[in-house]
Amino acid sequence: MSLDVPAALLERAEAGRVDDAEFVDCVRQSLPYAWSVVSQVAAEAQSGTAEFADHAVPPPSEAERGQLLRALASDAIRGGLERHFGVKFAFQNCHRVAAFKLSAVGGEIYQEFISPVAQLRNQSPELRDC
């Protein structure tokens, strides 16, 4: 299971009444490692002058890597996090997370980061099975 959903939130979801704040709080509580990574890069991206900030440190365990995968592979979770933090997330190699200022999305640096060429350049034998 990706998220630990409280019964009351699940009832509201079944009725079609869940707002972004409740959803994002559920993500924060369910995926604490992923939350720490995305909140860190989002804060750095928003506070700095660069177009993006990134985190490229491999997670300490497979459990934390799984949290990143669940958070960033789910359109709903990623979208909720992007709306909450006001950034666009990009993801490479099962652990490299970048947060782009919305003004940078579509620009040259963003396009390079999400390109197949960048993905290939960021490969290494030790990351093959990550």
pLDDT at 125: 63
Sign of CA dihedral 113, 2, 42, 127: negative
Global pTM value? 0.89
What are the φ/ψ torsions at residue 50 (nearest 5 degrees)?
-70, 160
- Residue percentage of the chain with pLDDT more than 70: 93
Average model confidence (pLDDT) across the chain: 91
Reported confidence tier of residue 4, pLDDT bands at 50, 70, 90: very high
Average pLDDT over residues 43-61: 92
Average pLDDT over residues 110-126: 82
* Cα angle for residues 89, 123, 36 (degrees, 5° grid): 35
Reported confidence tier of residue 124, pLDDT bands at 50, 70, 90: low
pLDDT at 118: 84
